Structure 1
Amino acid sequence: MVNVQLVPHCDDFCERIYDLSSDPPVKDALGLPDGTIESTKQFIKSMILEEAEGKTVSRVILDENSKVIGITTLMFIDHVTKSCHIGSWIGHQYWGRGYNLASKIAILRIAFNELNLNYVFAGARKSNIRSQKAQEKLPFIRLNVETKFPIEHGKLEYKERQPCVLNAFYRDDFVHFLNSKEPEGAYNEKMG
């Protein structure tokens, strides 16, 4: 498996984040408007502020050479329900190389070990097939949990303003994955 490092946001990463997120395959998948370096700086400032307020934990993903390749964020952190949502993106040239799995493991360690959460929700627009397929490859995700968590699903669809799928990472599944030498495939709520 590839190695990644998650680091806090800083202005030094601004141009690289802008370049990666402006690439049409990433920009279009995320539904991002045309951005600027200045809007990227504002995004970084907002992530730092939201983290200081306890609303998010957002990290820049670095590859083995300490090069910025994407961002992963725990958002809408709710310590009462012990849950949050995750949002991630990786630069197009890094797709299909194992960075999604490696970065998910790293950020979920923060969610479950440091924040002591029980659930991390991973949504995707129904139109974003690539994101759905990337989530389906993760061996410790539960797919199609919309009926089990209808409120979270409703919040997601309201935020995105379009139909979405809802998947989830459960703390126990993640711990089992970390302790297992032969991890099981994704668990589909509709199947069992």
Structure 2
Amino acid sequence: MILKTPNLTLRPWKPSDAEWLYHFAKNPNVGPIAGWPPHESVRHSLNVIETIFSKRETYAIVKKDIPIGCVGLLFHPDTNHWWGEGAAELGYWVGEEYWGNGYATEASQELIKRAFNDLGVERIYASYKLDNISSKRVLEKLGFRYYGELTNVDYSDEYFKEIAMLLEK
């Protein structure tokens, strides 16, 4: 499945994207604020593409043939939390060089439209770490509303607080 927006293409990740993924995902300003560690090598990035990014409804956010980020929907049992039947969890990130352009919002809008119109999803949850104000703003622009506060564990077994948001069809 390939989805198009005015500025972006959303497409499945390819092994040939590993170098670009590493370029963006090695940045310590990107992964940790979303709860995952900076990538350590191109091989690490390729492994992520072949495992995590190979799940259904997970897309590379592509700008001018460069995969600049990722947007995806997770379904049980791959979600961080059990949200119930008819629900999905939205996740996204964009490389730091592309922050501030609205790309996370634009890509997420397209995937939300697909979820509600084509996939039978009734509710979409998303969460952000308390200090990730940019992610909070993306969710607010998308129409999400406050759902609750959660405690989660990150890649280094550190507990952190996050805010869960909800968007209903």
Q: TM-score, normalised by structure 1?
A: 0.71
Moved >6 Å (runs of 4+): none
For structure 2, list consecutive stretches of 5 or more residues without a partner in the other structure.
78-82
CA contact (8 A) 2:152 2:162 kept: no
Superimposed CA distance per residue, residues 21-74 of structure 1 (whole angstroms, 9 cap, x where no aligned partner): 1123213423433421111111111136543xxxxx2100012x2221100111
State the distance in 2 between where 1:75 and 1:119 align: 12
Post-superposition offset of 1:80: 6.2
Match of 2:80 in 1: none
Rate the CA distance shift 1:50–1:27 in 2: closer, same or farther, 3 A. Answer: closer
More helix by share: 1
Larger radius of gyration: 1
CA contact (8 A) 1:7 1:59 kept: yes
Match of 1:116 among 116, 120, 133: 120
Q: TM-score, normalised by structure 2?
A: 0.79
Superimposed CA distance per residue, residues 92-149 of structure 1 (whole angstroms, 9 cap, x where no aligned partner): 111111212210111112211221101111101113233223323x1x4232112xxx
CA contact (8 A) 1:2 1:98 kept: no
Matched, 1:13 2:17: yes
Post-superposition offset of 1:170: 1.6
State the distance in 2 between where 1:80 and 1:116 align: 13
For structure 1, list consecutive stretches of 5 or more residues without a partner in the other structure.
52-56, 147-152, 172-192
- Correspondence list, 1:1-192, <5 A: 2-34=6-38, 35-47=40-52, 50-51=55-56, 57-63=57-63, 65-77=64-76, 81-136=85-140, 138=141, 140-146=142-148, 154=150, 157-160=151-154, 161-171=159-169
Identity %: 21
